[in-house]
Amino acid sequence: MVRKRFLVEGTVQGVGFRPFVRRLATRHRLSGWVVNRAGEVEIEVEGHPSAVALFEKHLRNDAPPLALISRLDIQDRDTVGESVFNILPSVRGELRGLPVPPDMATCEACVKELFDPKDRRYRYPFINCTDCGPRFTIVREFPYDRDKTSMASFQMCAECRNEYENPDNRRYHAQPNACPVCGPQAALRHEGAVIAVRDDAMKLAAAALSDGSIVAIKGLGGYHLACDAGNEEAVARLRVRKAREEKPFAVMARDLSVISAICSVSAMERAALLGSGRPIVLLQRAKDRLALSVAPTNRFLGVMLPYTPLHHLLLADFEGRALVMTSGNIGEHPIAYEDEHAIQSLRKIADLVLTHDRPIETRCDDSIVRVTGGRTSIIRRSRGFVPHSIPLPFELAEPILGCGAHLKNVFCLCEGNEAFLSHHIGDLETLESRRSYVEGIDHFKQLLRVEPACLAHDMHPDYPSTQYALEQAGVETIAVQHHHAHIASVVAEHDLKGPVLGVAFDGTGYGTDGTIWGGEFLLADLCGFKRVAHLELLVLPGGEQAIREPWRIAAWCLSEVYGDSFQNMDLPLIRGMDSSRWRTLKAMARRGFQTPRTSSVGRLFDAVSSIVTGRTTVRYEGQAAIELEMLADPCESGHYRFDLRDESKLSWGPMIRRVVEDLLGGVPAAAVAARFHSGLSVAIMEVCERIRRDGGPSQVALSGGVFQNALLLKRATELLRDRGYCVWFNERVPANDGGIAYGQVAVAGATMRSKVCA
Ligand code: ZN
Ligand code: ZN
Ligand code: FE
């Protein structure tokens, strides 16, 4: 006989962990006990050594779906000789902040009950259990108990209460436990007035969708706008009403067979779709059975499976088809989640609003992932993933808050060796998103009971996130360069040792010299970096407006290479360009007025895309670059050379010349687009080779929003690996600015540690 003590840390309370431990111990005929103790679960088991070993294995591998073990400490104990295994009453010690579980997709057992006419929750859209249902989005404050959630106003009926209190029931301590008698109810609104409730509301909403209506649907973290994805007229109407002309819509399909009929799905993509976070997965489109307007000009489609019982019910009536499910927001505003506001603002777009009376406490967008290079990488990390932590490569002496960047903002509160990345806050452009930024930080501090001793922020003086950091009195602040943070996010995520050569390509980031960077080769570790090479500068004629009108950058590049004569060339861009507008801009540029310079590769993509496709303006960030990627012919093998004669500069002039020659010579645009991608990949490889010859590392980290370009990432990775480099990129944190906060904390933490050591 042996006895062992297990101390388990992580998301282990309120997730059915103790009943799981008891079942496990009983199955292996072990005696002992389990207890919740101030943020940890403590277990002692006694029995045959092989049974104890099996217990440990299952404890690690088979924990309940919502549990996340961040640390497991095991010690030997003297045997006691008791005969049974018990769950002991919780010990309330000094309360430590506890991570709440993320929201979880409806589990199989609940789906089964949902469609079982004999079950008391038959067709009840709020069915959930210990393994599934809303969590993070309904929590008001710490500690995670029903009365601290938006379920507080619903009194459990006797039957629900029994389930909740019985450790053998699969709804034991499921905080949002509810049934049709005692729980939330659905309601369907038209022009603001309720026209149906409960199951009638569900049935009417499903019928209206089938009939081509647009319905706003309240989900876990906000409202969606939905319509039949196979109905061209309905999708086009949604585009007009939402004033969203081109950005692709995500769709939700009932099951994998429906998805397989639209897209090709690999084993890894299948696993991503079925993952407990139920993210949107970007899939290659196969047969086009959807309306053209769902995702015009895009080879990929964002697809997800239903993740709430309400979705399951709606899609059950939607045989073989898919629903457009796009976030319910207007223009640049964040997704609507507060009922009053959502009903008022979305009724202008939706014919009907399907809502319910369980409030959403925290806005939480759908997460987005994609499989590239044999890895699943996250693009937007929010609903279903937050607030699970991501490890840091070291233990922090004091808690740090990473304030994030400006676009796609995510902040990151860290304690010990755990980084808690926030939900997607979004672009800090509107007052509304700035408010949810500050409220979000307060919410996380309260939930985790952590007060940061240090704030890590971007170097850009005008970012609202920087201003937030500098306004907090009495707290140390550390400014972290944007692209260093990108590279640090890869280094920290993969716990890379020694220096790396970081390739940070993105749209924009404030450099140490006060200019805008975005095409950077950094020799870096967590403590610091040296800028060893970068893209030759481009000019943004007229400033920020050039980002929305990429023709301006394209025209400037062409005039640099060809002088004024470029305006006589037979290129698609010239045909669509306003030449008098260009003359004004050029005159301004000559006088140095409104002509910021940038080394941004994102802007180079904009310029080349504009030359190749003739697109003059964009409607969403990154649109021109995405179109160039989608246009590229994957079978094309040629590439355009960049000029590397200057040691530290990647010159684009020769490349632009080749693009123009090919277009004028009648080479198809798809081949030109592919040659540009390959040329840039070759340039990355050649710069890495040059730096390695001078003693640089064989470890390369690729990060920044540009590396969401799957073609560029694939080509660059292949070329580098062929030459013996270890290539790393982001997987669990986004490569775009959603990963900046994590990188900021890694840099600030390492800086503080090195100070202590020195
Ligand atoms: Zn369930
Ligand atoms: Zn009930
Ligand atoms: Fe960036």
What digits encode the pLDDT tens for the residues 168-197?
899 998 999 999 999 999 999 998 899 999
Rounded Cα distance between 696 and 687, Å, is: 11
Distance CA 600, CA 585 (A): 20
pLDDT tier at 257, thresholds 50, 70, 90: very high
Q: How far is CA 101 from CA 202, 448, 451, 652, in A?
A: 28, 12, 21, 48
Residue 461 has, within 13 A of its CA and on its CB side, a CA count of 4
How far away, in angstroms, is 124 Cα from ligand 2 center?
11
Angstrom distance (rounded) from CA 47 to CA 590 = 83
Indicate the range of 244-253, 456-465, 501-510, 656-665 predicted with least confidence: 244-253
Burial 588-602 (b: 16+ CB within 10 A, else e): ebeeeebbbebbbbb
Ligand closest to 738 (CA) is 3
Ligand nearest to the CA of 519: 3
Q: How far is the CA of 592 from the centre of ligand 2 (A)?
A: 70
Q: Which ligand number lies closest to the CA of residue 177?
A: 2
At 97, the pLDDT band (50, 70, 90 cuts) reads low
The whole-angstrom separation of Cα 540 and Cα 108 is 53
Q: Kindly tell me the burial class for residue 155, based on how many C-beta atoms sit within 10 Å of its own C-beta (0-12, 13-18, 19 or more).
A: exposed
705 alpha carbon – ligand 3 mean position (Å): 6
Residues with CB under 5 A from ligand 2 (ion): 157, 160, 179, 181-182
Cα of 534 to ligand 3 centre, how many Å?
Answer: 15
Q: Is 338's pLDDT higher than 70? A: yes
What pLDDT score does 98 carry?
62
Distance 496 CA to ligand 3 centre (A): 21
What pLDDT score does 93 carry?
56
Residue keyed to tokens 């895009």 = 298
Ligand nearest the Cα atom of residue 154: 2
Kindly give the distance from the C-alpha atom of residue 157 to the centroid of ligand 2, in angstroms, as a whole number.
4
| Spacing, Cα 310 to ligand 2 middle (Å) | 17
Distance 127 CA to ligand 2 centre (A): 10
Which domains does the chain show, CATH number per domain? 2-87 (3.30.70.100), 186-356 (3.90.870.10), 535-686 (1.10.357.160)
Record the pTM: 0.93
Residues facing 597 on adjacent strands? 539
Distance (angstroms) between ligand 2 centre and the Cα of 456 equals: 46
pLDDT at 729 over 80: yes
Q: Residue 178 Cα, ligand 2 centroid: separation in angstroms?
A: 5
Ligand 3 centre distance from Cα of residue 486 (Å): 7
46 close to 98: Cβ distance less than 8 angstroms: no
Cα of 751 vs centre of ligand 2, distance in Å, is 53
**CB-based neighbours (< 5 A) of ligand 1, an ion:** 107, 110, 129, 131-132
Q: Residue 162 CA: which ligand is closest?
A: 2
> What is the tens place of the pLDDT at every residue in 277-331?
999 999 998 877 788 889 887 889 999 999 999 999 999 978 778 999 999 988 7
Which residues lie near ion ligand 3 (Cβ < 5 Å)? 506, 509, 737
Tell me, in angstroms, the distance from the centre of ligand 2 to residue 184's CA.
10
* pLDDT on residue 627: 93
Residue 263 Cα to ligand 3 midpoint, Å, equals 30
- How far does the centroid of ligand 2 lie from the alpha carbon of residue 158, in Å? 7
Whole-number Å distance, alpha carbon 221 to ligand 1 midpoint, is 18
CA of 568 to the centre of ligand 3 (A): 36
Cβ proximity of 399 and 418 under 8 Å: no
pLDDT one-digit tens code per residue, 549-587: 999 999 999 999 999 899 999 998 998 888 899 999 988
Q: How far apart are CA 580 and CA 577, in angstroms?
A: 9
DSSP output for 713-735: HHHHHHHHHHTT-EEEE-SSS-S
State the distance from the centre of ligand 1 to the C-alpha of 177, rounded, in angstroms. 10
Lowest mean pLDDT among 50-64, 97-111, 192-206, 376-390: 97-111
Cα(110) to ligand 2 centroid in Å equals: 15
What's the pLDDT tens digit per position in 690-703? 999 999 999 999 99
* CA 106 / ligand 1 centre spacing (Å): 5
Q: Which DSSP state fits 152? A: T
Model confidence at 333, in pLDDT bands (50, 70, 90)?
Answer: confident
Q: Give the ligand with the smallest distance to the CA of 120.
A: 2
Please tell me the distance between residue 179's alpha carbon and the centre of ligand 2 in angstroms: 4
pLDDT of residue 646: 85
Determine the length of the chain. 758
Average pLDDT, the chain: 93
Distance 353 CA to ligand 2 centre (A): 25
Mean pLDDT of 600-627: 94
Cα 702 to ligand 2 centre (Å): 51
- pLDDT tens digit string along 542-555? 998 999 999 999 99
**Cα(108) to centroid of ligand 1, in Å?**
7
Taking residues 92-107, what's their average pLDDT?
76
**What is the pLDDT confidence band of residue 334, given thresholds at 50, 70 and 90?**
confident
The ligand minimizing its distance to the Cα of 309 is 1
Nearest partner of 517 among 526, 529, 499, judged by Cα: 529
pLDDT given at position 138: 96
Give the number of the ligand closest to the Cα of residue 504. Answer: 3
Q: Which of 239, 212, 211, 214 is nearest to 225 (CA)?
A: 214
Given a cut of 70, is residue 94 above it in pLDDT? no
